[in-house]
Structure 1
Amino acid sequence: MTTMTAEATAGAVDVEAVGLEAVTRTYGEVRALDGVTRTFPRGSFTAVMGPSGSGKSTFLHCASGLDRPSGGTVRVGGTDLGRLSETKRTLLRRERIGFVFQAFNLIPSMDVEQNITLPLRLGGVDADPGWLDDVVRRVGLGDRLRHRPSELSGGQQQRAAVARALITRPEVVFADEPTGALDPRSSRDVLRMLRDAADLTGQTVVLVTHDPMAAAWADSVVFLSRGRIVDELVAPTVSAVMGRWESL
């Protein structure tokens, strides 16, 4: 096994971290995405909002390579996902994309450190001790590394999930309702970590949320309706997000 270093994980300098061009996704007669075009610059933090059935989850799944669009192009760091085999898409997600979901998805039989470093071990890579220490410090779990998930609070479990998403130094972090099951204080902790990922380490964060307070942490908010981008708000505030949300 090799040790992951900053040099090994740093991609080519590029303005675009994720790009969608005329992306559609249909399920039978249902058009979940309808010609979506959007670029996410490196180091940006974008929230995606929309009512139920607007296409938010489909958007995240297509943008992250979890699902193949029916049409259009999705790029991650300049790589056209549509040209990759299933195996190569899986490797790209493991090495270049981090995921945080509402369900923490931690492995019950593993302790916190094992859960955090799982993506590296799956790729046959040893954690850089300095980077692991930095990530653990940022999520505030230094005294919980030998605990199992069942011994943690919900907020601590989600912080472990954020650490797991960051440990591979991904170019992009996709977060799907990561604060949906958390109390307000734990929600702020998780959102601060995602904000720091963009501000301190230059990672691109795409957050799907229904919460205006969560969206207000982002640089911009993209609003979806019926599978289309219908509005965007730059430098959002909670009141501005709520106003746009109510108009959808």
Structure 2
Amino acid sequence: MTHAGPAVRLDMVTKAYGQARALDGVSWAFPRGGFTAVMGPSGSGKSTFLHCASGLDRPTSGTVWIGDTDLGRLREAELTRLRRERIGFVFQSFNLIPSMDVEENVALPLRLGGRAVDAGRVASVLGRVGLADRLRSRPNELSGGQQQRVALARALVTEPEVVFADEPTGALDPRTAREVLRLMREAVDRAGQTVVLVTHDPVAAAWADSVLFLDGGRIVDELRSPTVASVLARWDGVTA
């Protein structure tokens, strides 16, 4: 199905914990088929931003849309189903099931969603991340980079409208991190995927089409067509 409009949209989203506002009136639209990085100093609201934008948490006020769906109008069961069917997640800690092999881990979102597991689709997405020959391996038999590639395949197997990646390279060495970021870039360029990457790493952010900078729970800057040097320069301005 082809959708018009942004993949994700936030309208005056605020998330408060008592008197403290982790997000303070954030509005933004993420274009379909785009790769956006989100950066900010510790405590800037990056994790809260990701949680609210992806439906993992509900904002105190404001509205979040995935496509044309207002998340605030969904009951918890409906929201769970939307996250399972229309959103992919990649986390720093991989979050693979140790007792399942690679194929089973990748197929898990399909099974949880009550969808038939298409072995061809699972094999295809594992081929895209270079693990077609590791279907029967368990996570403890894989390197950290291979585990993260399995996690990326799992996020992509449902053909979600958007993939949210939370510090996906934080536990990886630079070479392995570069490989994972290249695969995310390819998912955008070749498959038209939408990716939102939360990171503290300017090198990772430079793979994106644009970088948003958060500070004090607000978007304070945007950098288009980033390079490592331009991200570092803008980051110095945000954190000064």
Corresponding position: 1:101 with 2:76 = no
Q: Give the equivalent residue in structure 2 for 1:231.
A: 221
- Equivalent pairs, count: 238
Q: Quick check: 2:7–2:161 contact (8 Å CA) kept in 1? A: yes
Q: Give the equivalent residue in structure 1 for 2:232.
A: 242
Corresponding position: 1:139 with 2:129 = yes
- In 1, the alpha carbon distance for the partners of 2:100 and 2:222 equals 41
Q: Percent identity?
A: 71
Offset, 1:144: 1.1
Q: Give the equivalent residue in structure 1 for 2:153.
A: 163
Q: How does 1:122-201 map to 2 (within 5 A)?
A: 122-201=112-191
Q: Quick check: 2:103–2:122 contact (8 Å CA) kept in 1? A: no
Corresponding position: 1:220 with 2:189 = no
SS at match of 2:7: strand
What residue identity is the alignment partner of 1:28?
Answer: G
Offset, 1:91: 0.2
Q: Give the equivalent residue in structure 1 for 2:32.
A: 42
**Equivalent in 194, 200, 217 of residue 204 of structure 1:** 194
Corresponding position: 1:110 with 2:100 = yes
Offset, 1:132: 2.1
Offset, 1:240: 0.2
- In 1, the alpha carbon distance for the partners of 2:50 and 2:145 equals 23
Q: Give the equivalent residue in structure 2 for 1:6.
A: none
What residue identity is the alignment partner of 1:131?
Answer: R
Query: Can you give the 5+ residue segments of structure 2 that lack an aligned partner in the other structure?
Result: none
Q: Deviations over 1:106-143 (max 9, x none)?
A: 00000010001100011121233443232111111111
- In 1, the alpha carbon distance for the partners of 2:61 and 2:103 equals 40
What residue identity is the alignment partner of 1:41?
Answer: P
- In 2, the alpha carbon distance for the partners of 1:166 and 1:193 equals 11
What residue identity is the alignment partner of 2:26?
Answer: V
Offset, 1:13: 2.0
Q: Could you tell which deviates more after superposition, 94-103 or 121-130?
A: 121-130
SS at match of 1:14: coil
SS at match of 2:57: coil
What residue identity is the alignment partner of 2:122?
Answer: L
- In 1, the alpha carbon distance for the partners of 2:117 and 2:169 equals 27
Q: Give the equivalent residue in structure 1 for 2:111.
A: 121
- In 2, the alpha carbon distance for the partners of 1:109 and 1:44 equals 35
Q: What TM-score, normalized to structure 1?
A: 0.94
What residue identity is the alignment partner of 1:214?
Answer: A
